[in-house]
C-alpha cells in the first residue's frame, strides 16, 4: 500500500534525511482525523510527531498541504516528508556494565542500580544509562532519548524498559499513554499506614524550586495506588502501583498523605520525629514491570529482587536494630 522514495531504498529508518513516504488512505479509515489515520499507517512514528509534521507543512494530501484536525474520506493520496528526530541523541557511548533482565530484537529490560543516572544532564554529563545503551545497542542512537521511554530517579533502583527499534519505541509510548504498562514499586514509609488507598492528586513544578514537584490543582493528573505489604513500629512497607508516571510521583504523593519515604532528602524535610532511620537514599525500588510486547503482542512481566541495602534495612527493622535516637 505504501512506498518509500528518496534515500530510503531498503530498510526504512525514520531519521534518514530526505526520506519520503507516499501512501493512500484506505476507505476503512474514512471519517478519521488525518493524524489518527497516519498514526495507524505509520506505526513507527508517534502521533505527536505526525502532528508536528502537519504543522511544519511536511505532509501533503491530494497536492495540498495538510492542516491540523482535518478529516479524511478514504482514497486520498498522501505524501509525508520524514523529518529527522531532533530528540535523537548525539551523546557518546560508554562501556558501563548493565544488569540485563531481558533482551530481544525489540526490547531491553534492565535492573537499574542505585546511583546510575538515566539521562545526561546538569551535573551528570556522562556515565549514565543512556551512555551505556549507546555502547551496548548502537542503533538506539537513532531513537528519541536512545530508546528510553520512562525513567527512574538516580537513587531509585529497579526495572526499566528500553526500546531498540522505532516501532517498539512508538508502541511503548502509546502503552504508557494508555496506562497499560504495569509498574509496581516497593517503598518504605515513615508512619504506620493502617489501610490500602489511592492518592489522586495532580502534580506540577514547584514554583519556588524548578527541580521539585508539588501537588497543585493546575498540575497534570497523577494517580498512585498503594497497599500495605509489611508493618513495623513507626514505618510501613507498601507496594505502590502507578496509574500515571509523573516525575517524583511516589515521593511527592507519599509525602502529601503524611508518610514520606525513609531516606527521603527532598520531600521529607517537614517530617516531625524524635527518631529517624539512617538510610542514604529514598527507600524506593521498581520491583515489577509488565507490558504488551510491541511485536508479538503477548503480555510479559518481570520482577527483580530488592538491592542489598534495601534488603538489609528491612532485616534491621525485623530484628529491631534500624532505629536510632
Using alpha carbons, select from 116, 128, 48 the residue that is nearest to residue 86. Answer: 48
Our CA angle for 176, 179, 182, nearest 5°, is 85
Residue with cell 511527592: 252
State the angle between helix axes of 47-55 and 34-41 in degrees (0 to 180), rounded to the nearest 10: 130
Residue with cell 498540575: 219
Of 35, 85, 153, 171, which is the active-site residue? 153
Question: Which residues are CB-contacts of 145 (< 8 A; sequence separation ≥ 6)?
Answer: 87, 89, 119, 130
Alpha-carbon separation of residue 305 from 111, 138, 159, 283 (angstroms) = 9, 29, 10, 14
Active site annotation includes 153:
yes
Alpha-carbon separation of residue 307 from 115, 242, 287 (angstroms) = 12, 21, 10
Annotated active-site positions, please?
153
Amino acid at each position: 500500500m505504501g512506498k518509500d522514495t528518496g534515500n530510503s531504498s531498503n530498510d526504512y529508518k525514520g531519521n534518514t534525511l530526505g526520506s519520503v513516504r507516499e501512501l493512500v488512505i484506505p476507505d476503512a479509515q474514512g471519517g478519521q482525523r488525518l493524524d489518527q489515520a497516519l498514526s495507524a499507517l505509520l506505526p513507527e512514528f508517534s502521533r505527536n510527531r505526525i502532528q508536528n509534521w502537519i504543522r511544519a507543512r511536511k505532509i501533503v494530501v491530494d497536492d495540498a498541504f495538510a492542516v491540523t484536525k482535518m478529516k479524511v474520506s478514504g482514497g486520498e493520496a498522501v505524501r509525508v516528508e520524514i523529518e529527522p528526530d531532533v530528540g535523537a541523541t548525539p551523546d557518546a557511548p560508554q562501556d558501563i556494565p548493565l544488569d540485563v533482565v531481558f533482551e530481544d530484537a525489540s526490547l531491553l529490560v534492565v535492573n537499574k542500580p542505585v546511583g546510575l543516572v538515566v539521562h545526561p544532564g546538569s551535573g551528570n554529563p556522562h556515565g549514565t544509562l543512556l551512555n551505556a545503551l549507546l555502547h551496548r545497542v548502537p542503533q538506539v542512537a537513532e531513537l528519541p532519548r536512545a530508546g528510553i521511554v520512562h525513567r527512574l530517579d538516580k537513587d531509585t533502583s529497579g526495572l526499566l524498559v528500553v526500546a531498540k527499534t522505532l516501532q517498539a519505541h512508538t508502541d511503548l509510548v502509546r502503552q504508557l499513554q494508555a496506562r497499560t504498562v504495569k509498574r509496581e514499586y516497593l517503598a518504605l514509609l515513615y508512619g504506620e499506614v493502617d489501610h490500602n488507598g489511592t492518592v489522586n492528586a495532580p502534580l506540577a513544578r514547584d514554583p519556588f524550586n524548578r527541580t521539585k514537584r508539588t501537588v497543585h490543582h493546575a498540575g497534570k493528573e497523577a494517580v498512585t495506588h498503594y497497599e500495605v505489604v509489611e508493618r513495623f513500629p513507626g514505618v510501613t512497607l507498601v507496594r505502590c502501583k502507578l496509574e500515571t508516571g509523573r516525575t517524583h510521583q511516589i515521593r511527592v504523593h507519599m509525602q502529601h498523605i503524611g508518610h514520606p519515604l525513609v531516606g527521603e532528602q527532598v520531600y521529607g524535610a517537614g517530617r516531625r520525629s524524635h527518631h529517624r532511620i539512617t538510610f542514604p537514599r529514598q527507600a524506593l525500588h521498581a520491583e515489577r514491570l509488565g507490558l504488551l510486547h510491541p511485536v508479538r503482542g503477548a503480555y510479559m512481566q518481570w520482577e527483580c529482587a530488592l538491592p542489598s541495602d534495601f534488603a538489609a534495612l528491612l532485616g534491621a527493622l525485623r530484628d529491631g536494630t534500624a532505629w536510632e535516637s
